[in-house]
Each structure stands twice: as C-alpha cells, then as structure tokens.
C-alpha cells in the first residue's frame, strides 16, 4: 500500500492545489500519513522492481521537485524585490520628515503632534518588518531544496516572509496617511482622510488573500 502512496497523483488531483511547491507538500503529507499505518518492518519492503517506497517516491516526484524549486524561487524573488523597495523608501522617509526641521534647533517641527508620532512608529515598523522579510526569503533562495524541505521548512519560511511583507505594507500605508494628515490637516483635512482611506484598499486586498497562504 505504501508503494501506491509513493506514486505521483493524477494531474486532475494535483491541479486542485495551486503551485508546484504546494503540490509537492501535499504529496509528502499524503505519503507520511499512509506511512503511519504501515508496520515499521514493511516500510522498507521492495516492489517487483526492487525499489523501496521512499525510492519510488523520489523517482516519481523528481520532476515535481524541480518545478517546486522554480516556483518557490520565483515567489521568493518577487517578495524580496517588493520588500527591498519598501525598506528603501521607509529608510529614506526617516530622514525626510514631513514639515521639515526647525532651522535653529534642528528639531522636527511636528515633533509633539500625535500624527508625527504615528508616522515615526509606523515608518520604523515598516522598515524593520520589510528588512526581516528580505532576510527570511533570502534563506529560501539559498536552500538546498531537498525533498523533505517541501514538507515544512520552505513553506514556513515563505509564510513568515509573506506575513512580514504584508505587515510592512500595512504600516507603510499608515505612515503615508499620517504624513498626509500632518501636511493637509490645516487646510483640507477631508482630503487627507479620503486619500488615507483609499490607501487602505491595497492592505485590505492583501489581507483577504492572506488566509490562502495559511492553508499551507
């Protein structure tokens, strides 16, 4: 029975899961679940071709492993690009403060306002989380991509990388909204509020798609 579980699932069944890396994970999960019900002495039994279940699984899924590696690297590179851009923008924003500085003291003009405090905290959180995302997904690119890595290791890294990237986008939009409020609150406060609400749309869209990744 374990030899049957080691065979590659039909395309129709694999296509229910999006992405080669996720498909490989499901195949590993199925194989491991079946293996639990097999007595240890039969787990290394050989079929008519002299192959153990594990050897058969490796042979059947070698192409899927290659496809999963490519899918994972492409996804990680996209995440790294976005996270790097966010880190660059938020780092620069920390030195180009809204309202500027006092010419005599060098202290930010809006230092004692609540909106400025929100801006600074949000900008710092966005910088730290985007930098964390870069470091985590870089580990995906340098992974050995062994068969067992697709079960937990790679997917855990990608989920954490995506979560920190999502958080950096959200906090960046909060910093953006706080900046608009600081600049426009004396003249057109309603404009700042409306633009800030529009800026929350991308965050909401990301949040709606995030549970998909948690199903991994």
Q: How far is CA 104 from CA 78, 109, 161, 183, in A?
A: 44, 11, 43, 21
Do 126 and 85 sit in the same domain of this protein?
A: yes
Residue 65 lies in a domain: no
Question: How many other CB atoms sit within 10 Å of the CB of residue 99?
Answer: 16
Residue 154 lies in a domain: yes
pLDDT tens readout for residues 140-168 = 998 888 888 898 889 899 999 999 998 99
**DSSP symbols for 46-91:** --TTS--HHHHHHHHTHHHHHHHHHHHHHHHHHHHHHHHHHHHHHH
Do 55 and 86 sit in the same domain of this protein?
A: no
Q: Which two tokens stand for residue 75?
A: 């996804």
Q: Is 108 helix (H, G, I), strand (E, B) or coil?
A: strand
What's the pTM? 0.80
C-alpha dihedral sign at 65, 67, 68, 69: positive
pLDDT tens readout for residues 79-123 = 999 999 999 999 998 888 777 766 677 677 777 788 888 999 999
Do 179 and 136 sit in the same domain of this protein?
A: yes
Do 56 and 83 sit in the same domain of this protein?
A: no
Q: Is 101 helix (H, G, I), strand (E, B) or coil?
A: strand
pLDDT tens readout for residues 35-47 = 888 888 777 888 7
Of 60, 85, 110, the domain-final residue: 60
Domain that holds residue 98: 72-214
Of the listed ranges 145-149, 162-166, 172-176, 192-196, the one predicted with least confidence: 192-196
More confident residue, 106 or 139: 139
In this prediction, residue 48 carries a pLDDT of 80
């Amino acid at each position: 029975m374990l030899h049957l579980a080691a065979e590659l699932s039909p395309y129709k069944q694999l296509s229910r899961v999006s992405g080669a890396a996720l498909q490989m994970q499901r195949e590993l999960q199925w194989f491991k679940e079946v293996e639990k019900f097999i007595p240890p002495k039969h787990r290394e039994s050989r079929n008519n071709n002299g192959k153990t279940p594990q050897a058969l699984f490796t042979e059947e899924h070698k192409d899927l492993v290659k496809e999963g590696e490519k899918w994972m690297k492409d996804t990680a590179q996209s995440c790294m690009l976005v996270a790097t851009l966010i880190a660059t923008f938020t780092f620069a924003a920390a030195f180009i403060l809204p309202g500027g500085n006092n010419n005599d003291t060098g202290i930010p003009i809006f230092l004692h306002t609540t909106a400025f405090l929100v801006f600074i905290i949000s900008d710092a959180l966005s910088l730290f989380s985007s930098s964390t995302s870069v470091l985590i997904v870089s580990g995906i690119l340098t992974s050995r991509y062994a068969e067992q890595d697709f079960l937990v290791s790679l997917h855990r890294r990608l989920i954490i990388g995506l979560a920190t990237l999502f958080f950096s986008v959200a906090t960046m939009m909060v910093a953006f909204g706080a900046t608009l409020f600081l600049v426009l609150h004396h003249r057109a406060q309603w404009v700042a509020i409306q633009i800030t609400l529009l800026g929350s749309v991308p965050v909401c869209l990301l949040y709606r798609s995030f549970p998909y990744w948690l199903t991994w």
